[in-house]
Amino acid sequence: SLTDPKDRRGLAHFLEHMLFLGTEKYPDVSDYGNYLKTNGGYNNAYTGGDHTNYHFEIRHEAFEGALDRMAQFFIAPLFTPEFTDREMNAVNSEYQKNLENDGWREFQLHCSLYRADHPANQFNIGNRDTLTGTTREELLAFHQAHYSANTMTLAIVGKDSLDQLESWVRTYYSGIKNKHLEPIRFDPDFSPAKPALRLLRMEPVKDLRQMSLEFALPATLQFYDSKPSRLIGFILGHEGEGSLLSQLKAEGLATGLSAGANSQTPDYGTFDATVNLTTAGLANYHRVLELFYSAVARLKSSGYPDYLFNEQQAMARLDEAFKDKGEGAGRAVELANLIRDYPFEFAEREPYLWLQPDPKAYQVVLNQLRPDNMLVTLIAKGIETDQVEHYYGTKYSYHEDAGEAYTSLLGVKAIDAIQLPKPNPFVPAQATMLPIQPVQLIDEPGLSLYYAQDTEFLRPMVTEIYRFRLPRSLGTLENSVLLSFYAACVNEALNENAYPAKEAGLDFSITAALEGVQVVVSGYDASATRLLDVIAGNLVGFELSEE
């Protein structure tokens, strides 16, 4: 969508829809969809900023026919004019579906504030107003300009042999022309830095209280071997003892926090932090900003955290060996995107590659988390607004303050309450498969009980379920409410201590209802018992402030 003509907002998305409606080889507008449906399959597509992804899933016996049909999208599409209005309505319906989605509304506001002459200042979905009048010639021209074999990647996932899969690809996809298109490069300066606090206020549809921080990033895909953005996002989004979230909670300002980076294109991206505010946090949002920059100052003063890199590396190795990689269309979409962004020889492994610490790359990302490179968005009901966004009708206001509100953020120091995460005691030193042999647990007259090791999944993982049943006499409305409240209290009290366990591949749940209290622990068996000890110690003796 970043290549949409200025007078045809949404053209890339519209073309995505039109490609499904017949080709020279399969001219029936319903052929592709019907073939998939009658063979237990489905299809979908999405248009991103710098790529469009088409995918399907189908039973194995019909795989070849579906591959043939999809290949024709890129060889000889018809773009039949008689279906233009129908698909324009479909695009418009997709746009209307998002009118009350606060995520889309915020995204469009951000786009409108980006540099006016940059492609990121866009309306990517399109609607009837922007697409009315689109001709078949325009669609063919866009297809000709951007659809070429050398700018495409293909991933197919099936049970047939690699030789058979490759044979089908060569047969059906060799007809796609290689137009030797040059990769499109995008100016990374889509949101120029400005010495002011840029504050966007937005009235949501839902009853939200939220603050989001967005920082423009340069190209970061080349840092795949050290993943500095993920490391910084992990630290700032941490929920354990001494974390930014813990301090926000201690001051009654927030209930939740997330942080991480997103590469919009190979040339630029964003680092984003989202804070779920309390009423006090909304009223004192500047204090939330101060604490955020205290956390950033702590990262800068602490130097490169080798021990955290090593923990991420250890978990990535375990996940690569044992984590479920997915299947079907979801797996194919992931692989096609990976080989688009990374060198083919290791693209599949990229999510798990933590090859070497890189303090310089870490500093490149950290240096972007500056007040002059920040766009703040406050989202809440009843917030002060004075403008209406054109496409979504969102009520908003935007102000730039170069005074005290901005300058006070420039010299924020680290505070003792906010520290880097401590070494994680739950990261397994090793994960080994147990020997596959039955073990006799009980041998007595009338009963022999054996334990048999699982041989299907072959993973060093465990799930333990403990259930405390309650007597029927406790089955009252009041006790039902108290049990829900009890579960919420225990989960909140456990969050700081149990959060590192979740980062180490463990998971747990505590539920309480009239049927009983249930505790479930799952993950790598080498460290699950440690988490169970933490949980058990908090089921009765938990500590939680009155607030």
**Catalytic residue annotation:** 16
Report residue 358: phi and psi, to 5°: -140, 85
Q: Which residues contact 268 (CB under 8 A, 6 or more apart)?
A: 186, 187, 188, 190, 216, 217, 218, 219
Q: Which residue bears the tokens 């995505």?
A: 16
On the CB side of 386, CA atoms within 13 Å amount to 4
Query: Taking CA 258 as the corner, what is the angle to CA 255 and CA 260, rounded to the nearest 5 degrees?
Result: 170
Amino acid at 110: H
CB within 8 Å of 140: residues ≥ 6 apart: 79
CA distance 114 to 108: 10
Instruction: Identify the three-state secondary structure at position 311.
Output: helix
By the 8 A CB rule, do 80 and 21 touch?
Answer: yes
Q: Which residues pair with 216 in a beta bridge?
A: 270
DSSP 351-376: GG------HHHHHHHHTT--GGGEEE
Separation between Cα atoms, residue 154 and residue 44, nearest integer Å: 15
* φ/ψ (deg, to 5) at 3: -100, 10
